Amino acid sequence: QVQLVQSGGGLVQAGGSLRLSCAASGRTLSYYTMGWFRRAPGKEREFVAQLNWSGDNIHYADSVTGRFTVSRDNTKNTVYLQMNSLKPEDTAVYFCAASRGGGGTSQYDYGFWGQGTQVTVSS
């Protein structure tokens, strides 16, 4: 089992930046595909980004492409989501997730989840 603990997030003005971290314990993340999802109020959880274990295969949702950057440091067992040029519509609870397989854009592709962290972008 892998446990994921998230940190970061908070309140920021539109145009600002935040970085989310997702640290693993219990097992190395080295061979897991990692994903980021978010759930806005009244909406279903949606895909944000994913990267494979080596970090050279990355996908982003169209809504965040060019503004968000996902990365990982396997030596620290940690994955990051750098969010720049934030917009009010980015307001959501953000979740990191781990997949033993190839991951994907569906939440059902992931078996392990962080606790979620709130990101609020004011206009």
C-beta contacts of 75-80 below 8 A and 24+ residues apart: 76/23, 77/23, 77/24, 77/25, 77/28, 77/29, 77/30, 78/21, 78/22, 78/23, 78/24, 78/29, 79/21, 79/22, 79/29, 79/34, 79/36, 79/51, 80/19, 80/20, 80/21, 80/22
Tell me the mean pLDDT in the region 63-89: 96
Residue 97 has pLDDT above 90, yes or no: yes
Q: Give the percent of the chain with pLDDT over 70.
A: 100
Please give the pLDDT value at position 105.
92
Strand partners, 70: 81
Mean pLDDT of the chain: 94
